[in-house]
Structure 1
Amino acid sequence: MPLITKVEVIKLNIPYKEPFVISLGVIPSATNVVVRIHCSDGLIGTGECAPFVFIVGETQETVFELSKQIAQMLKGKDPYALNERLAEIDKAVFGNYTMKSAFDMALYDLAAKRAGLPLYQYLGGSNNREIYTDMTISIGTPDKVAADALNFKYEGFPAIKVKLGTNTKDDVARIRAIREAVGNDYPIRIDANQGWDVITAIKTLQKLSPYNIEHCEEPIPAWNYMELPKVRQNSPVPIMADESVFTHHDAMKLAKIGACDYFNIKFSKSGGINTALKINAIAEAAGVKCQVGCMSESRYALTALMHFVLACPNVVHYDIDSSLMLAEDPVKGGINYEGKGLWTIGDGIGIGAAFDEDYLRDAECVVV
């Protein structure tokens, strides 16, 4: 029986092209963690996670330290008993879904490699859809966000996502300026990142009614999810749950109360592929469509996300743009950006990508 022989845990730091601003804080660089699980059959499974401390409560440092504990627990065990390993990881530490997602991704990479299949085929999917990402605009002045929106439209992105969540006056001014720049037909999505209270959310969304907004992500604080149905009922803009849906248990709660029109699935928020599949299944059963999103992942984790999308037709919106904001690309293979928002993927087995060893050479690493 193949066994886990060692686990590498690596800090991955990648600068942004420019600091990314949302209602919760400023993100100057990607501070990610890579996990590589080595198996006695010679296969290596790789996972990557991207902690946002103000969303998940995890940092690169906490992920790095806890990963050592999880690696020690896994060593000497069968990596292909997938559900058993994931259950052990889930039981070993409460929460910490970002950290868990790196191990989940690495174990799925191993499982698909052993099966000799691309991950999307291992998950039951087909490479039969064109996947176009939107492009995200961080919080800025009306002139700045309008200029960014126009640039992204000229670059061919099929839609933009605009970060809001400050106050009604400024947020409406941003969207008004963007609409004047890009015209009435270009798709705009917005994300308040929990920045409004209930009254402000309803007021702002109603004032945004003339601007043809596709959906609004997480308008109110995640802890106040019981009020999300009220916002949805009074909003002319469809509502998407993001920070209020970490796991399938959250998805069930939100579906029961009719809280939203969409779920936003992110591996670094859900704990990885296994839970993401469960969230999507609940969404399908409840008639809720899904979007996939990202934190500050490199093209490696986005490749894993692409495999998930190809296995889940219920995912209809794609926010797969984080690597396009990074100043460097440490990944070989994987998804390829063709321009105009289009991502393509090959038929490499497993996730089908790897990190450039030269890029990782000076990174902090521990081997368990």
Structure 2
Amino acid sequence: MEKTIITQIDVIKLNLPYKEPFVISLGVIESATNVVIKIHTNSGLTGIGECAPFVTIVGETQETVFSYAKQLAKMLKGKDPFALEERLYEIDRAVAGNPTMKSAFDMALYDLLAKKANMPLYQLLGGLNNREVYTDMTISIGPPEKVARDAVAFQKAGFPAIKVKLGTNTQDDVARIKAIREAVGNDYPIRIDANQGWDTITAINTLKALEKYNIEHCEQPVAHWNDVEMAKVRANSPIPIMADESVFDHHDAFRLASMGACDFFNIKFSKSGGIFKALKINAIAESAGIKCQVGCMSESRYALTALMHFVLASQNVVHFDMDSSLMLDADPVTGGIQYQGSGKWTLENDLPGIGADFDPDFLKSMESVTI
């Protein structure tokens, strides 16, 4: 039997406008500027991956991903795609950092391996398609009256929880949450995300001021590098703390767990470099008694489908922030997870691999290169 090798790789820009600009403490996002990787083999199998670079968090852009991906594609040609660990370590060594770009290759290689095994990816990872997965919905930074209107709309739409972007100053951030709580009532779950926007004193003061509003958890209150201060915030906060930008990979997870710096980890493929390291982060979290959330950047429904497979094989993941594709003004994805309303995602097919693809006509309209 002929050995399977990688014969060519397509690198494709994927531009998807947002329905409305999305504002966080790190900047404004008006469109998803993603990259799709397609790995072709001589056996006829194709693996697909997608990544969503966000420059103020990962230091990557669509242009850097597009450029470096061509280098990785040249390196991978002619090699065995099913030697997954060897390929991923090779990718890791070839380029420092750049976890978002690496996550697209990781996703495509896992898609290929699961297709080779003739299994849906969750099954290859040891999971079952038996979990009910409901995403929260995110509200970007805005005036109190605007965020309160958004909160009511999402509550009426059936989302089980909302996540509110904060990270400006105590007075304005508290005003936002006060307006939302008054609008949605006392029992509707609210989560908050400061995206590194506070210093230590502001974080502690704001979290104490927000205690009475029944907040589930706060993501990344201080700068990503400031683990010592995040541990201090956690020790003084009445609200549980979730590490997001502080936890890129398993090394970060081990350090944060050792320091007692947080109550939760937020796992995103665009930070972890993909599924391989996301599994390691979750394993460290579980060992340390830390629960996880899965999150997203600006991914389409394709990458969210890959994330769903990870969730179905990771019982320690208990919060789901999988709303990015719901904010986009286009959906070029075929197959994959389906949105049922009220925040619910379902994976209804058991196709091998990730079980989704992109509309080829849509991709033809995008800039691409084949290596």
TM-score interval, normalised by the smaller of the two chains: over 0.9
Aligned residue identity for 2:76: L
2:80 is paired with a residue of what secondary structure? coil
| 1:142 partnered with 2:144 | yes
- Give the match for residue 300 of structure 1: 302
What pairs with 1:265-284 in structure 2 (closer than 5 Å)? 265-284=267-286
Matches within 5 A, 1:194-343: 194-343=196-345
2:159 pairs with 1:157 = yes
SS at match of 1:79: coil
C-alpha distance in structure 1 between counterparts of 2:216 and 2:74, whole Å: 46
Q: Which residue of 2 aligns with 1:171?
A: 173
The residue aligned with 1:30 is 32
What are the superposed Cα offsets for residues 90-145 of structure 1, whole Å, 9 maximum, x if unpaired? 00010000000000000000000000000000000001110000000000000000
Listed one character per residue, the Cα deviations across residues 167-187 of structure 1 (whole Å, up to 9, x for unaligned) are 000000000000000000000
Residue 52 of structure 1 aligns to which amino acid in structure 2? Answer: F
CA distances 1:218-264 after superposition (whole Å, capped 9, x unpaired): 00001111111110010000000000000000000000000000000
Is 1:363 the equivalent of 2:340? no
- AA aligned to 1:352 is G
Q: Whole-Å Cα distance in 1 between the matches of residues 114 and 145 of structure 2?
A: 47
The code of the aligned residue for 2:167 comes to G
Give the partner amino acid of 1:38.
H
Partner SS, residue 187 of structure 2: coil
Q: Any stretches of 5+ residues in structure 2 without a counterpart? A: none
CA distance in structure 2 between the partners assigned to 1:120 and 1:161 by the alignment: 27
Q: TM-score, normalised by structure 1?
A: 1.00
Aligned match of 2:56? 54
Deviations 1:72-105 (A, max 9, x none): 0000000000000000000001000000000000
The amino acid across from 1:362 in the alignment is S
- Aligned to 1:124, which of 123, 126, 132? 126
Q: Which amino acid aligns with 1:157?
A: F
The runs of 5 or more residues in structure 1 that have no matched partner are: none
CA RMSD of aligned residues (A): 0.4
Specify which of 26, 40, 43 is matched with residue 42 of structure 2. Answer: 40
TM-score (norm 2): 0.99
What letter corresponds to residue 5 of structure 2 in structure 1?
L
CA drift of 1:38 comes to 0.2
Residue identity (%): 74
> What are the superposed Cα offsets for residues 299-348 of structure 1, whole Å, 9 maximum, x if unpaired?
00000000000000000000000000000001000000000000000211
AA partner of residue 261 (structure 1): D
Distance of 1:109 and 1:260 partners within structure 2: 32
Query: Structure 1 runs of 4+ off > 6 angstroms?
Result: none
How many residues get paired? 368
The Cα offsets for residues 39-82 of structure 1, whole Å up to 9 and x where unpaired, read as: 11100000000000000000000000000000000000000000
> What's the secondary structure of 2:19's corresponding residue?
strand
Displacement, 1:214? 0.2
Cα drift, residue 28 of structure 1: 0.3
* Cα distance in structure 2, aligned partners of 1:172 and 1:340: 27
Distance 1:225 1:324 in 2: 32
1:112 and 2:104 matched:
no
Given residue 354 of structure 1, which amino acid in structure 2 is its aligned partner? D
